[in-house]
Amino acid sequence: MATSSDRRFPRNLTDRLSCRQVLNIMVILGFMFNYMLRVNLTIAIVAMVIPSNKTDISHTSATATECSDPGNATLLSDKPTQLPESFDGLRFQWDEYEQNIILGCFFWGYVMTELPGGRLAEIIGGHRVFGYSMLSASVLTLLTPVAARLDYTAVVVLRVLLGLMLGATWPAIHPMTARWIPPTERSKFMSNMMASSLGAAITMPVCGFLIASLGWESVFYVTGVVGLVWSIAWFFLVFDSPAQHPRISEEERRYIESSIGGATSHGKVHRVPWLRILTSPCVWAIIITHGASVFGYFTVVNQLPTYMKHILHFNIKANGLLSSLPYLGKYVFAVLTSALADHLLRTERLSRTATRKIFTAFALGVPSVTMIGQMFLGCDRAASVTFFTVALTVNGAVCGGYLGNGLDIAPNFSGTIFGMANTLSSLGGFLSSLMVGMLTQDNQTYAQWRKVFGIIAGTYAGGAVVYTAFGTGRLQSWNAVHTDDKDGTEPEKFPLRSDKA
């Protein structure tokens, strides 16, 4: 996004945007398309598989739920929808087990490249890691219809490879941020990662339209081509650092480099101080808080349709607006709160530590409260949708909180730190499904779901407490820069209020 500093740079007919503005646009689109390549199969598989003739028996007998039909059924009507038929009629006889393996195997590869991807971006640059990962994922997406025709196992192998490619993308963006974005603009830049939510909100209806109009194969061809076009543009428009960019103005390059200062190494590779990182409370604050936040997010997003169907007898997927609200809300809220966080830093209203802690506590504390509310008002459809939407929307404030905190404490190892955090959070997605399954299998009752909501509330609250206690915005000595403080931290670069106050 444009800042007051951008307006100082000259404009001409061939260069209307600053290089940082171009980078912002490409990263927003990149994370939108990143999630598009990830979830397209989730939508298309409905039309790829021969429908089962089994009757949906969900153990919804008189004793299966204590929630009676709510009085606001008209407000949130559940209109039955017909699944779109494939254009060419090609379907596969994959049973429920095989479908779940196809959908879940993505994470087998995804969790393996989080940490290596972050470290590789620190060594060779996030530009190449992010770009080649997206390019490879786009090619794999184009090959999905061929793999489906070959065999079910071919699809599984392809999805694992897709997970390997996309797993490296998220931590790869942090080293680029450390070299390109001034510290008082980083919260806003981190909100670009939340464009994945925007991508999910757009991908769902678009893929549904493609399936209904051209058949399920078109989903993979269209999304694959979109990814390829973006990848080509990325390599032409984006570079690893201002010093490497051939079209950057001298004014913008000087502004970026002087703002960042010496905290970030430009081109120099440092050995990872593993012992210092693994014994650093502020690093573990980021890792644990991210794990708690994503655990809650995955549980709500993935299990909400199940709860609505079995307990409230309401198919939320049948309502496109309600399905998209959490995704759209999270992105919009991320943009707004991150801009506020940067404003507070730029105007010296708050220190980095105070800013990160306040926004993190808000982003996790409010969802915790909504889940407690869900424990007592969960039989009401409107209240449930409101609680879930607020929880997911407010969680976008993490962009002004812990999400970019690795760049504060150790910009040279921000990719490694986020890779560690995202590895744990990816496992959290698996654990959330396991937890819900253990509590509700053959026992779809509101009493059991109250336990689920209680666990989510406790997890959110626990993450907020841990970060409030151990989080910091101070640059750490093991970032490999000169320090003048014996406690292993460096005074804040900007003339902000002291974190000790």
Q: What is the pLDDT of residues 317-334, one digit of tens each?
A: 555 566 677 888 889 999
Rounded to whole angstroms, how far apart are CA atoms 59 and 52?
18
Tens digits of residue pLDDT in 144-164 = 999 999 988 999 999 999 999
Rounded to whole angstroms, how far apart are CA atoms 326 and 342?
24
Terminal Cα-to-Cα distance of the chain (whole angstroms)? 32
Tens digits of residue pLDDT in 392-438 = 999 999 999 999 899 999 999 999 999 999 998 887 767 777 788 78
Q: What is the DSSP string of 150-168?
A: H-HHHHHHHHHHHHHHHHT
Q: What is the pLDDT of residue 487?
A: 42
Alpha-helical (H) ranges within 378-413 are 381-394, 405-409
Q: Which residues pair with 323 in a beta bridge?
A: none
Alpha-helical (H) ranges within 49-184 are 96-104, 106-110, 114-124, 126-142, 144-150, 152-167, 169-180
- Which string of b and e fits 4-14 if b means at least 16 CB within 10 Å? ebbeebeeeee
Cα atoms in the 13 Å half-sphere on the side-chain side of 140? 25
Q: Which CATH number fits domain 16-50+93-261: 1.20.1250.20, 3.40.50.2300, 1.10.150.20, 1.25.40.80?
A: 1.20.1250.20
Provide the 8-state DSSP code for 489: E
Q: What is the pLDDT of residue 227?
A: 96
3-class DSSP assignment, residue 12: strand
Q: What is the pLDDT of residue 128?
A: 94
Backbone φ and ψ of 9, nearest 5°: -85, 140
Are 16-50+93-261 and 273-479 equal in CATH topology? yes
Report the CATH fold assignment for 273-479: Growth Hormone; Chain: A; (1.20.1250)
Rounded to whole angstroms, how far apart are CA atoms 387 and 74?
19
Each domain of the chain, given as residue ranges in start order, spans 16-50+93-261, 273-479
Q: What is the pLDDT of residue 323?
A: 67
Q: Going from the first residue of the chain to its last (501 residues), give the mean pLDDT of each consecutive group of 10, the final group possibly shorter.
A: 46 66 94 91 83 49 49 42 48 80 85 92 92 96 94 92 94 92 91 87 84 90 96 95 90 90 67 92 96 88 74 64 77 93 93 96 96 88 87 93 93 92 82 79 82 94 96 90 43 40 36
